[in-house]
Chain A
């Protein structure tokens, strides 16, 4: 099962290496790992997308929790949450195909951010699934280059936040 796990970590050198090293040493597979700043200058947020059965995910949460510089962990498995993945993609789009491609981009509420003679640079964000659906549709036109940020996430509403917090303290 796919889990989105968010970890608040201390903004110190070596913390990313520690977490990445722990994942490698324990053989956990991660789909993506994003690090960014938060509202608090001393804390960063890592958002990790990992796959595995409940037992593996439980170990991932617990092993993360053991790292001294990890301040708080939240698994979004059972809460309603919003996730976003941002993609930039250069699509092959010669003049005769351009409007087709633009139509698809519009359907996905993407934006064309740069136009060249034979290609378009597209920006698209949304849940991972939406981004993937777009990539599948656009692939036949020819993807020249693609970059994604990986997922960041936050729970919806106050209630969801409470539930996430409860889940975290029972472990």
Chain B
């Protein structure tokens, strides 16, 4: 857990002198100092000095097949462990290939440090071979980035990068390293004392605001906790559960907040928003006090803004002041770390009987449950449902982006934080396979599953080779609906069924997997599904299970763009 969130860290104990070390050696020392357990990436000319040091390093290196894959691996590792994920790429194309991974991590506040090689510092600006303005390209998609032009600054800059990545609202930091900086020897003892006068994340919540928030909650008859990934990032799930239980307050989560509460709890309403449950969405529209914690009122969550939670006083707890009142006007803002604020708030929360409110929500739950048909083709929902049961709802599950991602969110049955590994903010297809591999590296004893779409899997499935090479037993389950399904759904509902560019023929993924050296399995009959899943879960090593599912299934409920949450289309659920 990224719990070291107090101000600027002190520099490490004065170890042996690092004067005279090369930049690459200093780089390596700093990684050891930070406790980096593994590095993902791809080699190239501008990072040769670094890899020369990694050659004999105790820090294992994972060679991915594409830099995007390396970035998503570092991301999956970080999301599932709470530690900083580290990746390396060479200059030019290596660096630009990282961009999607950085943007994905940036949108979802994932702590990562990316190192890129750069042409020699005195060549910069000359359009040298494999030169790209990496800091220019990645500035808007990282929490921070910088280029090191003097070897004397290298140690400090790396220390700062890790500190910035893991503190406050976490995010990816990129450090660009010209090759002369990593080759040359440092003439002085390198300075490793962070110098960040402009960086002081506000972690401690204001007492008066905490009390005001608690009073508003106590006064509410129909409060709802609306919980985002920030709670998981802060490691504050336990505190959140305590508040929900003490006050009898139902909890709905965003896609990234899944697992902050155990969905077995009667207080858990599952996901809200565009594909949220009917009962969560109705509860939000009806609540008189919405308590947002570590969530950012994303448009996929709120639907039409001016009808969102129309009767609610809004409390917003977030470590990022810029998230507060950005989209929705907030009545009680509380800036700070959820792990600081929630336990302090708990004291002021009065136990209150809210059974009438919970009963009302339960009625919606009974009237419009999540469900699916069980005739004809295998339904994608039933695959997820079965998987949840067969893994005791305890696996780490990565996803691609699309319908299958929403079904995974709706049907798996989340129980604990850091269980779902999914690209929420950026919606990056291709995230699932490499992110699952990264998560498996960080959690060798856990079952890690990639619930993927045929489209998403196609984008990065080459990384199955990485799983094979490094013997990471990820179970890749490809829900093949013959379509770029989510887009097909929009075309069906909003574009008169003109299915433009969404048909998506696939190869026999099981055969491809076998060719890659993994186990490949295929299933298209309902009667064989249980066995196929069992075999997938029980086979050692990486497995790709190609599941042919109903091509025409849609995700419901659905709140169309421009509609309020209460106007959701329940489709077959109504």
Interface residues of A (CB under 8 A from B): 9-10, 12-14, 17-18, 21-22, 25, 55, 58-59, 62-63, 65-72, 171
Contact = CB atoms under 8 A, between A and B. Distances in A.
B325 A17 contact: no
Nearest to A14: B135
Nearest to B198: A71
B197 interface: yes
Contacts of A18: 139
A59 B326 contact: yes
A45 to B, nearest CB: 13
B9 interface: no
Interface in B138-158: 139-140, 143-144, 146-147
Contacts of A71: 197-198
Contacts of A17: 136, 139
A162 B186 CA distance: 44
B188 interface: no
Nearest to A71: B198
B140 A55 contact: no
Contact of B144 (A62, A65, A68): A68
Contact of A21 (B140, B146, B164, B197): B140
Most central of B146, B198, B199, B321 by chain A CB within 10 Å? B198
Given A55-B325, A63-B322, A65-B322, A72 B140 contact: no
Nearest to B321: A62
Nearest to A43: B197
B196 interface: yes
A10 B322 contact: no
B320 A68 contact: no
A55 B135 CA distance: 30
Contacts of B320: 66
A146 B214 CA distance: 58
B327 to A, nearest CB: 10
B314 to A, nearest CB: 15
A62 to B, nearest CB: 4
Given A17-B136, A22-B140, A68-B144, A171 B326 contact: no
Pick the most buried of A21, A25, A65: most chain B CB atoms within 10 A of its CB: A65
A63 B321 CA distance: 9
A71 B139 CA distance: 18
B139 A72 contact: no
A9 B196 CA distance: 11
B156 to A, nearest CB: 13
A25 B103 CA distance: 14
Contacts of B321: 62, 65, 171
Contacts of A68: 143-144, 164, 196, 198-199
13 contacts: A10-B198, A13-B147, A14-B136, A14-B146, A14-B147, A25-B140, A55-B325, A59-B322, A65-B321, A68-B144, A68-B164, A69-B198, A71-B197
Contacts of B136: 14, 17
Interface in B294-346: 320-322, 325-326
Interface centre among B140, B144, B147, B322 (most CB of A within 10 A): B322
Contacts of B143: 68
B135 to A, nearest CB: 6
A74 to B, nearest CB: 13
Contacts of B326: 59
A21 to B, nearest CB: 6
B316 to A, nearest CB: 13
Interface string B184-220: 0000000000001111000000000000000000000
A71 B199 CA distance: 7
A165 to B, nearest CB: 14
B514 to A, nearest CB: 46
Nearest to B169: A66
Contacts of A72: 198
A68 B147 CA distance: 14
Contacts of B199: 68
Interface string B362-373: 000000000000
Contact of B197 (A10, A62, A66, A171): A10
Contacts of B139: 14, 17-18, 21
A70 B144 CA distance: 12
A59 B196 CA distance: 22
Nearest to B206: A170
Contacts of B140: 21-22, 25
Contacts of A9: 198
Contacts of B322: 59, 62-63, 65-66
A17 B320 CA distance: 23
B538 to A, nearest CB: 48
A21 B326 CA distance: 19
Interface string B11-32: 0000000000000000000000
A12 B148 CA distance: 11
B37 to A, nearest CB: 26
Interface in B114-161: 135-136, 139-140, 143-144, 146-147
Contacts of A10: 197-198
Nearest to A25: B140
Contacts of A13: 147
A62 B320 CA distance: 9
B506 to A, nearest CB: 37
B282 to A, nearest CB: 29
Nearest to B196: A68
Nearest to A12: B146
A3 B199 CA distance: 24
Nearest to A67: B198
Contacts of A22: 140
A13 B133 CA distance: 13
A171 B197 CA distance: 17
Given A14-B146, A21-B140, A70 B198 contact: yes
